[in-house]
Structure 1
Amino acid sequence: MKILQTEVLVVGGGTGGTAAAIQAARRGAHTILVSEFAWLGGMLTSAGVSAPDGNELEAFQTGLWGAFLRALEQRQPGGLDNAWVSFFTYEPRIGAEIFAEWVAQLANLDWIAGQVPLEVLKEGERVTGVRFRDITVFAKVTIDGTELGDLLALGKIPHRWGWEFQSEWDEPSAPRSHTSLTERYPVQAPTWVVMLKDFGAEIAPKIPPPPQYTSQRFAGAWENYGSESFLNYGRLPQGQFMINWPIHGNDYGEGVERLIGDAQQKSEFLQAALWHAQGFAHFIQTHLGRRYGLAETVFPKVSESMGGGAFALHPYYRESRRLIGRVTVCEQDILPQGTIAPLPIAITAEGCETVETWCEAIAIGNYANDHHYPSGDIPLKPKSMRWGGRWTGTPFTIPYGSLVSATVDGFLVCEKNISVSHIANGATRLQPLVLGIGQAAGMAAALCIEHNCQPRELPVRSLQNALLDDASAPAAIVPLLNLPPTHPDWQFWQHYYLNNPESYPTNGYCPLSSRPLWRQRQPGFRFSGTFHRQADQLYSLTMETQTTETLDQPWSLVTLRAEINDTLYQYPSTVELLTVSGTMNSAGRWLLVESLE
C-alpha cells in the first residue's frame, strides 16, 4: 500500500471533480485527483451526455464552462450547434482530451486513474484522507467529486437520499406524503447513454436484443415527435446520435436504490440499466431500419466498465446522496422573483439587530427544474421564461454553504452531492453548473490551504474575489443577462451586486454605460428575408432566396445575446427585409443570430 501526502485530494473525475482539481492546482495547491475511469469529465464525456444543458446564454459562458466551450469550438469539426436539445454537441472523446490536456499542463496536479474509494479516514469530525485499493492519500482538504456521493457514506458524513415532504421546507412542489411514484423512484432515474451512427447506404450490423427484451417498454417513444426529430434531439457531428431519450426511452430507475447497496446490488442495477439501453437501441434499429447502428468507436473499452464502444462508460446519474450542509438549496431558492431568483443572503445578528449581511453566491445556474421518472411525473412550479426567441430556464445561484458540511471539517463536495433538496436537484444537477460548483470547490480548497483554515471558516467574499479575478478562467457569480465577460464593466457590476445584494435587479439587467462587446467568432452566414413576430419572444424569418433546405416553412430566429434579444423584441410584427448573420441548425430548424444588419 503506497502512502501519499497532498494539500488537496479530489476523489472522482466527473464534471465537478475534474473542475475542482484543475482549479485547486491552478491556484497553487498541490493536488491529487483520483478517478475511477481513464476519461475525465463525467457527464460531459464518460457518461456520454455531450449535449450540455443550461448556462447557454453568452453572459453565463464564463469560468471553466466558458473555457471548455471555447476549446470545443476550436477542435470540433463542423461546429457545435447540431441538435435541438442543446446549442452545444460534440464528440465525447474531444471533451475528454481537453480535460486531460488541462490536467497535464499542471505540474502540481497528479492524476491517478483506475481507483475507487474504500475508506474515508477521519480524526474526530475531520476528514484526513481516503484509502483506495492500491494507495492511501492523506490531505488537508478532501473534496468528494464522486458521481453518487460515495465519501458521504464511507465517512458517515450526514447526508440525504430520496424525497423530502412539504413539511421539511415548505417547498411548493414537494409531495405532502409518499405516493406510488415516490416509493418506486426514491431518486431520479439514471440513463445509460448509447451512441448510434448513420451508416448511409451501407447496412449497419444488427444490434442484438438483450436478455428478457420486450418491445413494449419502448412503444410510442417518438410517437409525438417523429423519427427524424427524435434522432435530431441529440444529433452529434460526424453523423452520430446521442441517445438520451426520456419518453419510453433509456431512462432506467427500477430498483434504483441498489446503487447505494452493496457491490453486488450495484452491479446488478448497472447491468440491468445497460441491457435496458441496449434494448432501446435494438428497438430503434428494428423500427427505423439498419441504416442506423451502434457507433462502436466512441468510447474506449476498458476492464473497469461494463460499457464502452457505443455505450457510455457509466450511467448518466441525475441524483446522488446529498450532503447535509451549512445551507441547503430548496425549491424557493431557485424560483424566480421577477425574471431571476433572489441572491442568497446570509445575515448575522445580535439580539434583534442585524450586524452584517452578505451574498453567499459562488456559481450560476439557469436550467429549468427537470425531473425524470420513467413511469410518471410530478407537477413542478414553473421556472422557465421565453428569452432570445426560445424557452430557457430562469437564473439562480448556488450558495457556498451548500458545499460545506454542517458537522465535518477538512471536507467539501462538488458534484450532484451538494446540500440541495430532492426537488431543487432537478435544476442544480446540470453539467455547466456542476462545472461551476467544482471550480468554486477547488478554489475554496486552495484558499483554505493559503489561509490555514477550515472550509467553514473561509470568508465567502475571499472566494468570490478569487473566482472573479482568476487569471485563467474568471467565473461570473451574479447572473446578469446583458453583461458578457468581455464587457469592460464586467468586474465592476459583479462586485457591485455582491456588495449591494439588495440592489440586485429582478429583471437581470444592469445599467451599462456602453454597448456590450460580445465575443468575436468566426464569421457566420448571412440570411435575408421577411421577419415575423408570432408572439412575444417567438420570431421567424422567411428566406428571400430559398434553397432546398429552406423551403416549406419559416425558420425560427433565436439568440444567446442580450443585445439581439432586446432588438428583436422591439421590432414590429413584420419587417419586410431583415438580414441576420449566424448559423443554421437544421435539427432545431432555427437560425442562431449573432448580429443584425
Structure 2
Amino acid sequence: MNRRNFIENLTLGSGLLSTASLITSPATGQPVQNEVINGKVVLTSDLVIAGGGLGGCASAMAALRNGLSVILTEETDWIGGQLSQQGVPPDEHVWIETHGATQLYRDFRNNVRDYYKRNYPLTDEAKARKNLNPGDGSVSKLCHEPKVAVAVLNDMFAPYLSNGKLKLLLEHKITGADANGNKVKTLEAISLSSKQKLVLSAPYFVDATELGDLLPLTGTEFVTGAESKSETGELHAPEKADPENNQAFTVCFAIDYVPGENHVIEKPKEYDFWKNFVPKMSKPWSGKLLDLSYSNPKTLAPKMLGFHPEGISMGEKLNLWNYRRIINKENFTKGSYTGDITIVNWPQNDYFLGNLVGASEKDFNKHFEGGKQLSLSLLYSLQTEAPRPDGGKGWPGVRLRKDIMGTEDGLAKYPYVRESRRIKAVFTIKEEHVGVDNRSLVTGKKTENKAAEFYDSVGVGYYHIDLHPSTRGDNYIDFASLPFQIPLGALLPKRMENLLPANKNIGTTHITNGCYRLHPVEWSIGESVGLLIKYALDKNVIPRMVRDKQELLTDFQIFIRKQGIETNWPG
C-alpha cells in the first residue's frame, strides 16, 4: 500500500471516517458526527481548508496546535504546493535564518535540514554545517528536493492524523459550494480517483487553492489581472485595466548529468514551434525564447545566461545549472551521486500563451499541456542544441529525473502559479505601501527606507516586486520593495464572514502580488489565518470584528506573537 492510499484509508475508512467517534469539536464541545446523505459522505470539522500548499498547511497546523479539528483537501497526491507539487525551491530574503518569518516556518526549515542529516550520506563537513543547503543553489539558502518537503510536512501532521483531528483528503477537488448570504455553509468535493463525492461542513472555510477557486464557487467578490493607474494610483500600473493580464506560469522539471551517456528524449511534438518562438512583448524580448538569454528584469536589456551541467563558473554569465540546484554531490559521501541535480524554472520555460486564472477545465488542461511541451522542448534543446565549451552543441548526458517530481512524464504535478484571483478586501495593499520609489513619492522622503506600517499587522515578509512576463505581453516588471508587514485587512473579504484566503488570493494588486506571493509570505498568511479562526471561535465574533475593535485586535496580536508570529521588523 502506498503512502497516499494509507493516508486515505486512515482518514476515510470504508466511506466513513474510522476515527469519527473519537473527534470532539472544541468549538461546540460535541462529538463530530459524519453521515451519508443522498450517497454523499458528510464530513464535519471546525475548519475546512481547500488547498494543501504552504498557506493551507500552515493554516492547518496553526488551527490543529490550538485544538481545532481540520479537513484539508489537496488536488494532487503531494502536500506542499510551491515547494513540492510545483517543484520550486524556496524564494526567500537574506535574513530568513534569523528573522522575517514565523517560528513555525523556521521549524519547518530546520526539520528539512534534520531530515537530510538523519537520512542521507552527508560528508562530515556538510553534516556539521548548521545552515546546511543540500543543493547549494544560489536562489535560496535551503535548496532541497520536493519529496523531502512532502516527507517533513507529513511528519509534522502525523500526530494530528493519528488522533483524528486532521482529515487529509489527497486527490480531492472542490467542485461546488452552498453559500447563503454572507456565509458559506458547505463545500462539495470529489475524489479524483474513486469519484466519491463528499460534503464538507464547518463554521469556517479557507481558500488556500492556487487559483482562488473557492471565490467564484461561493460568490465571494474578487478581482483578476491588472488594475489601471487611475484605480490604484500605482507608479507601475498600466494606464488601462486588464482582468486577463496575469503572470506566466511554469511547468518545472528536474535534471542531472551523466557524462558519456545518451539520455536525449524523443523530440517533443511542439519542439519546432518553440525552437523558433520569439515572444511578442510590449517591450522587446532579447531573441528566441529557448536561447540562453532573456530580458534583464530590471532594465529589459538583453542579458546572456550560461549553462554547464558540471556546475563550473561561467564568469559574468549566471550558470543556470547552479541557480536552483537541489543536490550538490560534493555535500554527500563520494559515490553517492553521479552528479548534481537541479530544477529547471528559468525564463526559457515561462509559459504566457494562455491564462489559467478563470480557465475552464478544458482550457486549463490545454495550457498545462502547452506548458509541458515548452518545458520538454527546453530540455530537448539543452540535450541537442545548447553550446558547449569545445564549440559543439548539446549535452546528451543531461537526464530527466522523473523520480524527483514523482510523475511518469518527469514534469511537475501542477503548474507553478504566480498569480490568482484576489479577494476584494477590506484593505488592499498597493505599491505606495511597499515599493521603494512609489513610497518615496507618497512620503516625500527620497531616502525613505521603511514600508508602510499597518496598525493591524499580523505578519511580515520581504521580496522585491517581481512580475514575470504576462499573458497580455508585458515583459518583466521588477523593482525594489521594502521589508513589509501583512495587514489583517488584506485577509478579510469585504462581505463574506466565514471564508478567508491563504494563498496568492489576498487583497493585493497585480503589482504588489509580485512581492506577497513567495514561499515564506504565503506560509505567514496561512498561519495567521488559522490563528484568526481559532481566536474568532473562542471570542464568538466574526474575523472582521477582530480588526474593527481595537481591544480585540490588540489581544489578537498578543496571541499570535506568543505563537511565534512576527508582526514588526526589528529596528
Does the TM-score normalized on the shorter chain lie above 0.5? yes
Of 352, 373, 378, 1:253 maps to 352
Contact 1:8 1:446 (C-alpha < 8 Å) held by counterparts: no
Is residue 101 of structure 1 aligned with residue 189 of structure 2?
no
Residue 56 of structure 1 and its aligned partner are, at CA, apart by 4.1
Is residue 270 of structure 1 aligned with residue 358 of structure 2?
no
Of Structure 1 and Structure 2, the greater strand share is in 1
- Which residue of structure 1 lines up, in the alignment, with residue 433 of structure 2? 333
* Residues 98 and 463 of structure 1, relative CA distance in 2, 3 Å threshold: farther
* Residues 292 and 261 of structure 1, relative CA distance in 2, 3 Å threshold: same
Q: Residue by residue, what CA displacement relative to the aligned partner does 1:462-509 show, whole Å, maximum 9, x if unpaired?
A: 332222112xxx1211112xxxxxxxxxxxxxxxxxxxxxxxxxxxx2
Q: Secondary structure at the match of 2:184?
A: strand
- Which residue of structure 2 lines up, in the alignment, with residue 207 of structure 1? 265
- Which residue of structure 2 lines up, in the alignment, with residue 432 of structure 1? 520
Contact 2:270 2:374 (C-alpha < 8 Å) held by counterparts: no
Name the % identity: 24
Question: Structure 1: where are the runs of 5+ without partners?
Answer: 302-307, 345-358, 384-393, 481-508, 510-597
- Matched letter for residue 351 of structure 2: Y
- Matched letter for residue 243 of structure 1: V
Once the two structures are superposed, the pairs formed by residues 386-425 of structure 1 within 5 Å of their partners are: 394-425=482-513
- Matched letter for residue 368 of structure 1: H
- Which residue of structure 2 lines up, in the alignment, with residue 297 of structure 1? 403
- Which residue of structure 1 lines up, in the alignment, with residue 115 of structure 2? 75
Rounded Cα–Cα distance in structure 2 between residues aligned with 1:26 and 1:187: 36
* Residues 460 and 193 of structure 1, relative CA distance in 2, 3 Å threshold: farther
Residue 193 of structure 1 and its aligned partner are, at CA, apart by 0.6
Rounded Cα–Cα distance in structure 1 between residues aligned with 2:260 and 2:111: 33
- Which residue of structure 1 lines up, in the alignment, with residue 378 of structure 2? 280
* Residues 95 and 319 of structure 1, relative CA distance in 2, 3 Å threshold: same
Provide TM-score, normalisation by structure 1. 0.71
Of 559, 566, 570, 1:466 maps to 559
Rounded Cα–Cα distance in structure 1 between residues aligned with 2:381 and 2:418: 24
- Which residue of structure 2 lines up, in the alignment, with residue 527 of structure 1? none
Is residue 3 of structure 1 aligned with residue 42 of structure 2?
yes
Provide TM-score, normalisation by structure 2. 0.74
- Which residue of structure 2 lines up, in the alignment, with residue 553 of structure 1? none
- Which residue of structure 1 lines up, in the alignment, with residue 325 of structure 2? 235
Once the two structures are superposed, the pairs formed by residues 15-54 of structure 1 within 5 Å of their partners are: 15-54=54-93
Is residue 172 of structure 1 aligned with residue 212 of structure 2?
no
Is residue 224 of structure 1 aligned with residue 307 of structure 2?
no
Once the two structures are superposed, the pairs formed by residues 426-505 of structure 1 within 5 Å of their partners are: 426-458=514-546, 459-470=552-563, 474-480=564-570
Rounded Cα–Cα distance in structure 1 between residues aligned with 2:262 and 2:503: 38
Is residue 361 of structure 1 aligned with residue 361 of structure 2?
no
- Matched letter for residue 208 of structure 1: E
Rounded Cα–Cα distance in structure 1 between residues aligned with 2:47 and 2:94: 28
Rounded Cα–Cα distance in structure 1 between residues aligned with 2:267 and 2:456: 51
Residue 342 of structure 1 and its aligned partner are, at CA, apart by 2.2
Rounded Cα–Cα distance in structure 1 between residues aligned with 2:510 and 2:342: 30
Contact 1:298 1:309 (C-alpha < 8 Å) held by counterparts: no
* Residues 401 and 292 of structure 1, relative CA distance in 2, 3 Å threshold: same
Residue 379 of structure 1 and its aligned partner are, at CA, apart by 5.0
Once the two structures are superposed, the pairs formed by residues 121-200 of structure 1 within 5 Å of their partners are: 121-133=178-190, 134-177=197-240, 186-199=245-258
- Which residue of structure 2 lines up, in the alignment, with residue 244 of structure 1? 345
Contact 2:53 2:208 (C-alpha < 8 Å) held by counterparts: yes
Rounded Cα–Cα distance in structure 2 between residues aligned with 1:39 and 1:448: 30
Rounded Cα–Cα distance in structure 2 between residues aligned with 1:109 and 1:148: 24
Q: Residue by residue, what CA displacement relative to the aligned partner does 1:422-443 show, whole Å, maximum 9, x if unpaired?
A: 0100010001110110110111
Rounded Cα–Cα distance in structure 1 between residues aligned with 2:72 and 2:417: 20
Q: Residue by residue, what CA displacement relative to the aligned partner does 1:539-562 show, whole Å, maximum 9, x if unpaired?
A: xxxxxxxxxxxxxxxxxxxxxxxx
Q: Secondary structure at the match of 1:465?
A: helix
- Matched letter for residue 276 of structure 2: Q
Residue 417 of structure 1 and its aligned partner are, at CA, apart by 0.5
Q: Secondary structure at the match of 1:195?
A: strand
Rounded Cα–Cα distance in structure 1 between residues aligned with 2:210 and 2:228: 24
- Matched letter for residue 451 of structure 2: A
Rounded Cα–Cα distance in structure 1 between residues aligned with 2:500 and 2:104: 19
Residue 195 of structure 1 and its aligned partner are, at CA, apart by 0.7
Counting matched residue pairs gives 440
Rounded Cα–Cα distance in structure 1 between residues aligned with 2:493 and 2:435: 24
Rounded Cα–Cα distance in structure 1 between residues aligned with 2:306 and 2:421: 37
Q: Secondary structure at the match of 2:201?
A: strand
Contact 2:52 2:209 (C-alpha < 8 Å) held by counterparts: yes
Q: Residue by residue, what CA displacement relative to the aligned partner does 1:233-253 show, whole Å, maximum 9, x if unpaired?
A: 11111511111002xx11001
Moved more, 95-104 or 57-66: 57-66
* Residues 291 and 275 of structure 1, relative CA distance in 2, 3 Å threshold: same
* Residues 212 and 381 of structure 1, relative CA distance in 2, 3 Å threshold: closer
Residue 461 of structure 1 and its aligned partner are, at CA, apart by 2.8
Residue 261 of structure 1 and its aligned partner are, at CA, apart by 2.5
